[in-house]
Amino acid sequence: ASNLWVGTKGGGIFSFTKDEQSGSLQYHQQFTTADGLTSNEVFSLAEGNSGVVWIGTDGSGLNYYDRESRCFQQLQFPPNISFSSVYTILPRPDNVLWVGTSGYGMYRLVIDPSSHPYRVTEYKQYLFREGISSISNNIVYSIIPGGVNHLWIGTRGGGVNRFDLQSGSFEQFRLSESNPGHYGQDDILCLYEDKDGNLWTGTSMGLHRFTWKKDETWEIISYNEESGLPNNTIHGLLMDAGENIWVSTNNGLAKLVPENDSYRIITYFADDGLQNNEFSDGAAYVSPHSNEFFFGGISGFSKFNPLQISQSEFMPHIWMDAFYVDNIESDLSVFLSDKQGSKVLSLSHDIKSFGFSFIPIDYLASGKCEISYMLEGYHSEWVHIGTSNTVVITHLPKGNYMLKVRSSNANKIWGDTLFTLPVVITPPWWDSRSAYLLYAFLLAGTLYLIRKIILYRMELAKDLERKEMEKQKIEEIHQGKLSFFTNIAHEFSNSLTLIYGPCDKLILENRGNYLTRKYLQVIRSNAERMQKLIEQLVEFRKVETGHLQLKPEMVDIPELIRFAMDHFLEILEQKRIACTFTSSREQILWQTDRESIEKIVFNLLSNAVKYTPEDKQIAVKLDIEDELLTLTVTNSGVGIRPENTERLFDRFEVLNQFERNLSSRTGSRHGIGLALCKSIAQVLKGDIAVESDGEQYTTFVVKLPELPVSEHSILQQNSRGSENSETMTDYCLPETVRGKMEPKREWLTNPGEEYILVVEDEPEVRTMISDLLSTNYRVVEASSGKEALELCFTQRPLLVISDILMPEMDGVELLKRIKNSEFTRHIPVILLSSRKSIESQIEGFESGAD
């Protein structure tokens, strides 16, 4: 008879004998501390050389049983060896024991079997050391051979270690490194190496197989409850002759049957005859004589021959037990409808879920039969639901489907489809055929409407294009008229020069003849009015074309207005008009362009004086409102009809009215002056408006912001002060009689020999200038700059008076030629021009004019 030794936690060791004839085990004897054991808590058992049984205890070190003396002994250690609990023992043929402890790492013990009791003659302890090649954890649960030169070591929390027996080095393998957070995969409870060299590790988070690949890397495949294991805590591992892996867990026994490249898992529980569903760490043993398997658990141990465990070929039928709609059990017949002679499950789209409960008909092992289903048209593979037996389908879209259900037997062998049912999910009304027909009509109507809108917009775009072209044409006509009138104005300037000169001379020569002087004054006054109109037209043209240059500076606005009003005192007295000026402050300094403000003020005052009847009033007010300079000019006696107020500033209407005035020789309030004020105000980022009751009064309101100051304007402020009064008088009051400048002759020593050169391409103007100078000087005339330059080099005149605008060579070029020559640079040059702007004067001075 052979004996089976079983270690227990608290009951010592039980010995069983096997009857060779019947094969049954019979209880033989119990060994406890009374028989020599140092502890009744036995954690490991291993058979060594000469039939010695090594016993690992909890807290009392190593014991052994000597078959010769038939007694238990405690292994004798050197005084400095300290370990208590022994979880695993691996005896080697050379009297070496490898011992795994709880907290003291792994020991290599060399035993002297000749001594009684046995003693340790040599030992080495392997502990965890940070940063060097060492064991990964000091709690060792399993040690197994790994070929000739290696050991596999399983630790709690440190993963698997491969120990090289020759070099004494460790190689660590941690599954948690590739699966962060799954530290239970490194909690090794048992190890097993199969005949192919694959390492199986049982952990507290499933079963893992390590396969060494040709590229010297490990392929790891994991199995857990989702794979079909009854529990994720693995306690023991064995392989039978059919290469099936047997796994003891915390909830039953599992058999992994190899199929193709994977495993089919069959489970066994207490109902199948197991001692209990819960097994113990490392309690797995295969008899070398009978090949029987032994798995220990909390209620004893289970013994069986794995080759005698047959697989049932029975395939159970399934029974539909219940039908559910939105988790409420319902009557299936209510939802069934006939379609072409078969029953169809018809469900509305608003149902969130539906399901079935099935029962496999296997009275012996119904709890082991599993269910899988497939919804053709929705699933591409079978959906495995295990033993829950409940099929639940949620949020299924509209359409036609076929539900198929199948069952496995207790050995996880799947049968054919056992249950089929067509399923139709009806669409909502807005997803039905009639709805799509309606959508088609709506789409067609929408497309028709879009087409109509597009055509309308195209027509509107064409209309806008036509209006834009008309506007552009009107603008071109406007610019053409403005350019035409401006060009005529320049021609008029030359003619007016011919009027001014003779007229002034005749006035001086007829001082005694009152009537002649009166008529001459009328001629000169109207010529001045025409000159004023020309200047306004040129200024209007400059603003329209964007060539008005602003020079911001600090301007005392009340002083400027008072100065402007002084120029109208004579006519105000003649018409007995009361003109008042009020300002919210005595001094208002405003950052703006002086010349532009002057033009606005003088034009508004001129307009008010012109259209205010005798014995009426003009009121001028100045204030700052909302950070805007506000100038108000009100005149009484004459109003403007409301329909005419907008036309007052219309640049097109102003130019047309100007054209009508020229043809009819009449006046109108649609003058260039008001349009010029409007344009200048807009250039200054402000605006001008008019208010009138149509009969009694008219008010013009100007609002202007301050302009940002520039470096150029600061440099120009001091140089402009002396020019202001003269400039105002020139463009605002052309009627004012200008004093005639008497020629100075102090520098002339011999008028008879020296001469003055007059250069002008217009014969009449040239003759007039010569006549004015010929009484006192010798005058030589030239019709072009080229001719004048030749005279300067050949006869060297005393003085050159030249027009600017001339053919071949203009006056500025003539001036540069004269001043750039050593022979002529001493000759003074006076330039004549109809342009009165400061820019024109600066251009002349920069060119060297005297």
Can you give the pTM of this predicted structure? 0.49
Whether the pLDDT of residue 493 is over 90: the answer is no
Give residue-wise pLDDT tens across range 779-798: 999 988 899 999 998 888 99
Give residue-wise pLDDT tens across range 578-628: 999 999 999 999 999 998 999 899 989 988 998 899 999 999 999 999 999
Please give the pLDDT value at position 713.
44
Q: Comparing 144-153, 206-215, 840-849, which segment has the lowest mean pLDDT? A: 840-849
Q: Taking the domain 548-732, which CATH number applies?
A: 3.30.565.10
Whether the pLDDT of residue 663 is over 80: the answer is no
Question: Which tokens sit at 228?
Answer: 């079909």
Please give the pLDDT value at position 484.
59
* CATH 2.60.40.10 at 317-427, yes or no: yes
Please give the pLDDT value at position 292.
92
Whether the pLDDT of residue 487 is over 70: the answer is no
Taking residues 172-191, what's their average pLDDT?
Answer: 83
Q: How confident is the model at residue 765 (pLDDT cuts 50, 70, 90)?
A: confident
pLDDT > 90 fraction of the chain, expressed in percent and rounded: 47
The backbone torsions φ and ψ at residue 133, rounded to the nearest 5 degrees and listed phi first, read -70, 110
Most confident range (mean pLDDT) of 218-227, 274-283, 717-726 is 274-283
Q: How confident is the model at residue 81 (pLDDT cuts 50, 70, 90)?
A: confident
Q: Do domains 228-309 and 548-732 have the same CATH topology?
A: no
Three-state DSSP at 495 gives helix
Question: Which tokens sit at 35?
Answer: 């028989």
**Residue 800 near residue 830 (C-beta atoms within 8 A):** yes
Give residue-wise pLDDT tens across range 33-74: 999 999 999 999 999 887 899 999 998 989 999 888 889 999
Whether the pLDDT of residue 738 is over 60: the answer is no
CATH architecture of 228-309: Beta Barrel (2.40)
Q: How confident is the model at residue 658 (pLDDT cuts 50, 70, 90)?
A: low
Report how far residue 228's alpha carbon sits from residue 207's, in angstroms, rounded to the nearest whole number.
Answer: 11
Whether the pLDDT of residue 744 is over 50: the answer is no
Whether the pLDDT of residue 636 is over 50: the answer is yes
Please give the pLDDT value at position 19.
81
Report how far residue 109's alpha carbon sits from residue 56's, in angstroms, rounded to the nearest whole number.
Answer: 14
Taking residues 683-712, what's their average pLDDT?
Answer: 85
Give residue-wise pLDDT tens across range 421-476: 999 999 988 888 888 999 999 999 999 999 999 999 999 999 999 988 888 877 77
pLDDT > 70 fraction of the chain, expressed in percent and rounded: 85
Which residues lie below 8 Å from residue 213, measured CB to CB, with a gap of 6+? Answer: 219
CATH topology of domain 756-847: Rossmann fold (3.40.50)
Q: How confident is the model at residue 526 (pLDDT cuts 50, 70, 90)?
A: confident
Taking residues 731-746, what's their average pLDDT?
Answer: 33
Q: Comparing 102-111, 164-173, 492-501, 639-648, which segment has the lowest mean pLDDT? A: 492-501
Whether the pLDDT of residue 184 is over 80: the answer is no
Whether the pLDDT of residue 839 is over 90: the answer is no
Please give the pLDDT value at position 194.
93
Please give the pLDDT value at position 842.
66
Looking at residue 290, the DSSP 8-state letter turns out to be T
Please give the pLDDT value at position 332.
93
Which residues lie below 8 Å from residue 574, measured CB to CB, with a gap of 6+? Answer: none
Report how far residue 615's alpha carbon sits from residue 612's, in angstroms, rounded to the nearest whole number.
Answer: 9
Give residue-wise pLDDT tens across range 287-306: 988 899 999 999 999 999 99
Whether the pLDDT of residue 745 is over 70: the answer is no
DSSP for 129-165 reads -TTSS--S-SBEEEEEE-SSSEEEEEEBTTEEEEEET
Which residues lie below 8 Å from residue 188, measured CB to CB, with a gap of 6+? Answer: 141, 142, 154, 155, 156, 158, 159, 160, 201, 202, 203
Give 671 or 780, the one with higher predicted confidence. 780
Please give the pLDDT value at position 736.
29
Whether the pLDDT of residue 739 is over 50: the answer is no
Question: Residue 831: beta bridge partners?
Answer: 802
Please give the pLDDT value at position 723.
40
Strand stretches in 39-95, DSSP E: 42-47, 53-57, 62-66, 71-74, 86-92
Question: Which tokens sit at 105?
Answer: 């790492």
Site of tokens 């001094």: 587
Mean pLDDT (the chain) is 84
Which residues lie below 8 Å from residue 581, measured CB to CB, with a gap of 6+? Answer: 558, 561, 562, 565, 620, 621, 622
Three-state DSSP at 293 gives strand
Q: Where are the domains of the chain?
A: 228-309, 317-427, 429-547, 548-732, 756-847
Taking residues 816-830, what's their average pLDDT?
Answer: 89
**Residue 267 near residue 253 (C-beta atoms within 8 A):** yes
Q: 165: burial class by Cβ within 10 Å (0-12, 13-18, 19+)?
A: middle
Whether the pLDDT of residue 719 is over 50: the answer is no
Q: Which residue pairs from 75-84 have beta carbons closer than 8 angstroms and sit at least 24 positions apart in sequence?
A: 75/109, 75/111, 75/117, 75/118, 75/119, 75/120, 76/115, 76/117, 76/118, 76/119, 76/120, 77/119, 77/120, 77/123, 78/120, 78/123, 81/107, 81/120, 81/123, 81/125, 83/107, 84/58, 84/59, 84/60
